[in-house]
Chain A
Amino acid sequence: MDSFIIGQQLVNGITLGAIYGLIAVGYTMVYGIIGMINFAHGDIYMVSAYLGAIFLAVITFFGIDSVVLALIITLLFTIVFTALYGWSVERIAYRPLRGSTRLAPLISAIGMSLILQNYVQLSQGARNQGFPALVEGSVRVGDGAQFFQVTYLQMIIVVTAFVSMGILTYVIHKTSLGRACRATQQDPMMAEVLGINTDRIISIVFVLGAIMAAVAGILVSLNYGSFDFYIGFITGIKAFTAAVLGGIGSLPGAILGGLILGMSESLFSGFVNTDYKDVFAFGLLIVVLIFKPSGLLGKPEIEKV
């Protein structure tokens, strides 16, 4: 086996994994705080890809030529509007069902996912949409026939993803807002009695998850150049897998799970078979769940006394 091929696949894998991680934190935070799987989260990511393309077009129309400036403005607008989608989904589909059965919000989430897909399909058309290749060029490592390359775009993706996840981790662990989030997660009733508006905190968690998904949406669009209304499904399932792999409810777990999933998928594609990479990814999940049902960094659920 060629070490350069391993190198290349690792670079590709870290890029993919960083994106899975960004989306996975949305699943894991929502699960941590209200114990539900937000199946519409993948579609929030999909919506952000569309919003990104629309804002980029508008910004270009206004004649902003600098790629860096255009990307930053696009990112900011996309974040704000995607956050609005995340917030609305919680208000419309989940909050009215709080206090009902565990299954009700889950079904509502699947419904929300279908609504978002169909809404985007109807309003934007079923065809693939394109995103211009704004960042080109790469760095080669090695020489002659023996090399692997890291594109500038891959560097941007990995750096942006890790900076975003770093900021999120800081917010959750070091700020009073994050402390309120953790309190609501650990003991919602006590948090409320101590003066935390837990409904507001739950909204904020959905917003934070949507922000991360928006960053992922822009990065993926830049990387692949095209998307459609259905991308949220498979990427959502993969990111959810990453969250479960790392231990659902655990923030570092989601990031680790994303990286492991991305790298193993990419190595498997490089050395075995591209067609079966999803089988491998989900097989990996099954193996982890057999030996460690709470995931890699998750805590086993202890019955409270």
Chain B
Amino acid sequence: MSHLLTLNQVNVSYGPVQALYDVSLEVGSGEIVTLIGANGAGKSTLITSLFNKPKPNGGAIHFDGHNLTSEQTHNIAKLGLALVPEGRHVFPSMLVEENLVMGTIPIGENHLEQDRAHIFDIFPRLKERRNQRAGTLSGGEQQMLAIARGLMSRPKLLLLDEPSLGLAPIIVQQIFGILKEIAEDGMTVFLVEQNANHALKLAQRGYVLVNGRITLTGSGEELLANPQIREAYLGGH
């Protein structure tokens, strides 16, 4: 399998504080890969360092033949990488429609009509709310909008950072259901989650990040069955 995203011995620091130590991982084309870890393990840092925010101070990140560490942040989306960030980060004063258009920046507005219709099929709630300001949406709807905005750039790899954060269990179910559909459509997904149970059930492979280091890796089922993982992330039952 060809690797779409490869991290090789990546080190990231915030000033004197090191957040990631020699992180290596791969995401193959068409795969769903998850990275699980506790609060403060460095999950979000790993995701944002793909966009050089902050820039890694060691190691290499390759995506689809490009060396990401030498690209400027605003050029990375054009390479086919879309981020659904932690905390959703929709543009609160813009309409739902405008937020979707924001997603098309890397590819231009040529496919806008077609892609928007497709998005509204996946997220009928967004269609109902299309002329509302994004800031007035509920948390779950904002999360759907953030995912939809990511899809609008027709990415080769969709990065999701804690899509379950702060949402009611039933909404989390719904979001993961949608992610499953998107993945079945052939999208490559790299999912960072604290909610190990949902993430490992969805993903084919998983990595476990502890204090900035990758300590375990395996298929989703293996990790789900691993007693250490059950102890640390799944409530020990």
B74 touches A198 (CB 8 A): yes
Tell me if B19 is interfacial: C-beta within 8 Å of chain A.
Answer: no
A195 touches B106 (CB 8 A): yes
- Count residues of A near B (Cβ-Cβ below 8 Å): 18
B102 touches A197 (CB 8 A): no
Give the Cβ gap from A95 to chain B, nearest Cβ, in Å. Answer: 15
Tell me if B94 is interfacial: C-beta within 8 Å of chain A.
Answer: yes
User: For the complex, what is the distance from the CA of A119 to the CA of B208, rounded to whole Å?
Assistant: 61
Partner of A193, one of B85, B87, B91: B85
Q: Which of B1-9, B75-83, B179-187 contacts A (4 or more CB under 8 A)?
A: B75-83
Q: Which residues of A contact B73 (CB under 8 A)?
A: 192-193
Tell me if A179 is interfacial: C-beta within 8 Å of chain B.
Answer: yes
A196 touches B105 (CB 8 A): yes
Place the interface of chain B in its size category: 20 to 34
The answer to whether A179 and B94 touch (CB under 8 A), given A194-B103, A195-B106, is yes
Q: Which residues of A contact B92 (CB under 8 A)?
A: 186
For B53, the closest partner residue in chain A by CB is: A189
A194 touches B102 (CB 8 A): yes
Main secondary structure of the interface of A (DSSP, over half): helix
User: For the complex, what is the distance from the CA of A191 to the CA of B153, rounded to whole Å?
Assistant: 13
Q: How many A-B residue pairs have CB under 8 A?
A: 58
Interface residues of B in 53-90 (CB under 8 A from A): 53, 72-78, 83, 85, 87, 89
For B74, the closest partner residue in chain A by CB is: A197
B77 touches A179 (CB 8 A): no
Q: Which residues of A contact B38 (CB under 8 A)?
A: none
Partner of A195, one of B75, B85, B93, B98: B75
Tell me if B207 is interfacial: C-beta within 8 Å of chain A.
Answer: no
Interface residues of A in 185-211 (CB under 8 A from B): 186-187, 189-198
Tell me if A183 is interfacial: C-beta within 8 Å of chain B.
Answer: yes
For B99, the closest partner residue in chain A by CB is: A183
Q: Which residues of B contact A189 (CB under 8 A)?
A: 53, 89
Q: Can you sample 27 A-B contacts with CB below 8 Å?
A: A179-B94, A179-B98, A179-B101, A180-B105, A182-B91, A182-B93, A183-B91, A186-B91, A186-B92, A187-B89, A187-B91, A189-B89, A190-B85, A190-B89, A193-B73, A193-B74, A193-B77, A193-B85, A194-B102, A194-B106, A195-B74, A195-B75, A195-B78, A195-B105, A196-B105, A197-B74, A198-B74
Chain B residues within 8 Å of A, Cβ to Cβ: 51, 53, 72-78, 83, 85, 87, 89, 91-94, 98, 101-103, 105-106, 109, 149, 153
Beyond the given pairs A186-B92, A193-B77, 10 more chain A to chain B contacts, judged by CB atoms under 8 angstroms and listed by A's residue number, are A182-B91, A186-B91, A190-B89, A193-B76, A194-B77, A194-B102, A194-B153, A195-B105, A197-B74, A305-B87
Chain A residues within 8 Å of B, Cβ to Cβ: 176, 179-180, 182-183, 186-187, 189-198, 305
